[in-house]
Amino acid sequence: MTQVTDKVNTSGSKNTRSNVVVDWFIRLIKGIIVGIGFILPGLSGGVLAVILGIYDRIIKFLSDLRKDFVQNVFYFIPVVIGGAIGIVLFSILVEKAFGNYAAQFICLFVGFVGGTFPSLYRTAGKQGRRTKDIIIFIFSTFFIFGLMLLGGQQLTEVAPNIPVWLGSGALIGLGVIVPGMSPSNFLIYFGLYDKMATGIKDFDFAVIIPLLVGFAVCVLLFAKLAAYLFRKFYPEMYHFILGMVVGSSLAIFPTVVFPAFRSEQLSVAGLSFVGAFLLCIGFLAVGVVISFLFSKLEDKFPREEIF
């Protein structure tokens, strides 16, 4: 009997360790995806954090750092590592190739968002869905769509300096607190996007340190407000976010994807119209499949209810 019990305990211990390792790598992958969301124009790291089921915990932790501090730090270590990997790797990619193949990469992530939308929709309606919530959803969809159309046009050029990079970091932080807002689009608007990507790629601390400071200050200032709003107005907040997801995803097409089909852009990329179109469709489908498989893997690690 003792031998049988020992075998069961050993087996259970191995399964537990295996689950811990898999969960750690899942959080690492989530961090990479969220980091990429900060770099790719048209995407929002906040939206991806919501879709991946870590937004609630981020806001809860940042709104009260003292509560479960050590436990949260260990939880977010792989997320932070993954975020850094995603930002650095895609900063290199942005400078090398992204300009020529922006539409294809963006379609990959639109597919990812589309594949996880049903789960987010269910989460938003967890406490019911009233007429007011639908109105909020429609309003936020059109609001972010219009805002992203404006931000997708480069209308001015701002000279980079420390205060500007502090403001840029705060803008990126706002993209965490307000899912659906794409900081990259607005950095493009101010002519700072490519300079930021180059600074990160080259590990230029005159760019990186102000970005981090501005990011941290913004997130810490607004996280408590976000946590309060989720506690008091859960359905309204989640339907607002749902609209942000839909509106920002739709706005990607006129701001990033459609311009890539202009003859001069196709020539630079070395693609025909049909070839570029098929690649976009293919990347979109790959994104949907990846998100579907990822959601199946996540079924073994259910989202933790925070609010």
Q: What pLDDT score was predicted for residue 62? A: 84
Pick from 226, 56, 238: which is nearest to 130 by CA? 238
> Does 158 map to a domain?
yes
In a domain, 103, yes or no: yes
pLDDT for res 197: 79
Establish if 2 belongs to a structural domain.
no
- Residue 285: HSE in the Cβ half-sphere, 13 Å Cα cutoff: 6
How far apart, in Å, are the Cα atoms of 195 and each of 85, 160, 295? 19, 8, 35
Domain containing 172 equals: 15-298
Flag whether 3 is in a domain. Answer: no
Question: Does a structural domain hold residue 9?
Answer: no
Number of domains in the chain: 1
Cut 0.95: pTM above it: no
CA 247/CA 187 separation, integer angstroms:
19
Each of the 307 residues of the chain gets a pLDDT tens digit; together they read: 555 555 545 555 555 666 778 889 889 999 998 888 777 665 667 777 877 888 888 888 888 888 888 998 999 999 999 988 988 877 777 656 556 677 777 787 778 777 767 777 877 888 888 999 999 999 999 988 887 777 655 445 678 899 999 999 988 887 778 765 667 766 766 768 778 878 888 889 999 999 999 988 988 888 888 888 888 888 998 898 888 778 877 887 887 788 888 888 888 778 889 988 998 999 889 888 877 776 665 555 444 444 4
Residue 109 is assigned to a structural domain of this protein: yes
The CA distance from 7 to 284, in Å, is 47
Q: What's the rounded Cα separation, in Å, for the pair 56 and 65?
A: 14
**Half-sphere exposure (CA, 13 Å, Cβ side) for 73?**
6
Which pLDDT score, from 0 to 100, does residue 210 have?
A: 94
DSSP strand E in the chain: where?
none
**pLDDT of the residue at 306:** 47
Q: Quick check: is 6 in a domain?
A: no
